[in-house]
């Protein structure tokens, strides 16, 4: 196992909306920057894909025997939601906080630190889990390029990775 920070780091979710902005309204770098319909659609698409992926990761968390592994997966799920929605800030720097990078890191496969065990995951669930985390982590950087095109592509891939994970879960008989 790798040397890791504490077994989990708290993620403050949901983040409060800035003054004058509703939670479902995307943030913008400056008040005079209007989002075009394609960008707005991509932001909603990214959020929806992130919520679906996070729901699957929470299902994985719910079946963990070790509560520390369950907590690590729940933090990953919260990080997926945050990275696919609240951190995609048009006009922003496209960077994740260290805390969020940690919760979405490949170490999610190893579970909580200091347990000397691995999370209860079927072999075919591992790759989709890493893919879901990596795709969510990449979403905020779309604000630095072609937001509508890049975020829509990542959202499609996030949906595909989530579908693969759900199929693996169903195939192993591990679902709820």
Query: Is residue 162 assigned to a domain?
Result: yes
Tens-place pLDDT, residues 69-87? 999 999 999 999 999 999 9
**Please, what is the average pLDDT of the chain?**
84
Query: Is residue 32 assigned to a domain?
Result: no
Query: Is residue 30 assigned to a domain?
Result: no
Query: Is residue 113 assigned to a domain?
Result: yes
Query: Is residue 92 assigned to a domain?
Result: yes
Tens-place pLDDT, residues 140-152? 999 999 999 999 9
Q: How many structural domains comprise the chain?
A: 1
| CA dihedral for 159, 164, 167, 169, sign (positive or negative) | negative
Return the top range by mean pLDDT from 11-15, 92-96, 111-115: 92-96
Token representation of residue 90: 């048009």
Q: Which residue has the higher pLDDT, 166 or 23?
A: 166
Q: What is the mean pLDDT of residues 103-108?
A: 86
Residue 27 has pLDDT above 80, yes or no: no
Query: Is residue 153 assigned to a domain?
Result: yes
DSSP SS3 for 141 = helix
Going by pLDDT thresholds of 50, 70 and 90, the confidence category of residue 107 is confident
Query: Is residue 94 assigned to a domain?
Result: yes
- Residue-level length of the chain: 176
Domain that holds residue 95: 37-171
Query: Is residue 5 assigned to a domain?
Result: no
DSSP SS3 for 9 = coil
């Amino acid at each position: 196992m790798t040397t890791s920070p504490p077994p989990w780091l708290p993620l403050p979710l949901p983040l409060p909306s800035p003054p004058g902005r509703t939670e479902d309204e995307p943030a913008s770098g400056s008040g005079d920057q209007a989002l075009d319909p394609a960008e707005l659609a991509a932001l909603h698409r990214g959020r929806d894909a992130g919520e679906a992926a996070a729901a699957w990761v929470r299902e994985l968390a719910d079946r963990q025997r070790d509560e520390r592994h369950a907590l690590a997966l729940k933090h990953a799920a919260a990080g997926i939601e945050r990275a696919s929605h609240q951190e995609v800030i048009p006009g922003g720097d496209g960077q994740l906080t260290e805390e969020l990078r940690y919760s979405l890191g490949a170490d999610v496969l190893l579970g909580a630190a200091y347990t000397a065990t691995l999370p209860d995951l079927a072999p075919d669930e591992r790759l989709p889990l890493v893919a879901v985390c990596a795709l969510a982590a990449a979403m905020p950087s779309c604000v630095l390029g072609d937001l509508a095109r890049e975020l829509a592509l990542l959202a499609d891939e996030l949906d595909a990775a989530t579908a693969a994970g759900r199929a693996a879960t169903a195939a192993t008989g591990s679902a709820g």
